[in-house]
């Protein structure tokens, strides 16, 4: 079974400049995801797709293969799917390599565990899904504004409020792990399609680094050893 992990990482992060190579928990942000993929029992090839020389150098020194992608696939409007398809094309055309399974890992999840990756792949295989993505249980009341009028979205505010443990089964996509058959990506030009499944993670290990506050929270987690052993 050829199981490929692709980690897209562009150099032009806006909210946190040079985010993917900033140090958190003793190593560059992207290296956490590279190491997690390397420590997976199921993944047997790890590729970083980037437009940035420093990210490429850091990733190669961590043991990942690197595929450079054109600037047109690395601007602020380019999709992750375009980077994934470019990497698949490069591997097929230049290395005669076509994976059976594709694992898309965003490098903004430094707290995920290799066991989460493996458990997600196990579920993907056992349930014979075509695509699967990681989620976290969602136990919050959601409101929206209809003009200036607040409207409840996922509950009836006039009914009894739920205790946290009594919330209905709801999940939020956490962006940490995506597993798919390559044909799904090519057919739908999207990470979802075919027979779809979920893999539930705890919200802490799925924390995404999107803001300076997220980065500080992750740094504190590593420093306090709350996530000791999380990424091998």
What is the set of active-site residues?
Answer: 161
**Rounded Cα distance, 214 and 207, in Å:** 8
Q: What is the DSSP string of 90-122?
A: HHHHHH----SEEEEE-TT-TT--HHHHHHHHH
Q: What is the CA radius of gyration of the chain?
A: 19
Q: How many CA atoms lie within 13 A of 11 on its CB side?
A: 15
CB 43 within 8 Å of CB 4: yes
What's the sign of the alpha-carbon dihedral 7, 9, 15, 21?
positive
CB 112 within 8 Å of CB 206: yes
**Rounded Cα distance, 52 and 113, in Å:** 26
What tokens were used for 98?
């076509």
Residue with tokens 């565990």: 113
């Amino acid at each position: 079974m050829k199981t490929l992990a692709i980690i897209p990482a562009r150099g032009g992060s806006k909210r946190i400049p040079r985010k993917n190579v900033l140090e958190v928990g003793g190593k560059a942000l992207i290296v956490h995801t590279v190491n997690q993929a390397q420590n997976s029992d199921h993944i047997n090839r790890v590729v970083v797709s980037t437009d940035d020389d420093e990210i490429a150098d850091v990733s190669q020194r961590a043991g990942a293969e690197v595929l450079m992608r054109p600037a047109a696939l690395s601007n602020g409007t380019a999709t992750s799917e375009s980077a994934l398809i470019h990497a698949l094309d490069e591997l097929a055309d230049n290395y005669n390599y076509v994976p059976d399974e594709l694992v898309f890992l965003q490098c903004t999840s430094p707290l995920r565990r290799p066991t989460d990756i493996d458990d997600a792949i196990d579920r993907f295989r056992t349930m014979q899904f075509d695509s699967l993505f990681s989620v976290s249980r969602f136990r919050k009341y959601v409101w929206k504004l209809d003009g200036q009028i607040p409207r409840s979205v996922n509950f009836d505010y006039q009914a009894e409020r739920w205790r946290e443990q009594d919330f209905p089964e709801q999940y939020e996509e956490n962006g940490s792990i995506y597993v798919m058959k390559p044909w799904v990506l090519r057919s739908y030009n999207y990470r979802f399609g075919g027979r779809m499944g979920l893999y539930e993670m705890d919200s802490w290990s799925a924390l995404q680094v999107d803001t300076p506050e997220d980065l500080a929270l992750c740094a504190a987690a590593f420093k306090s050893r709350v996530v000791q052993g999380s990424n091998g």
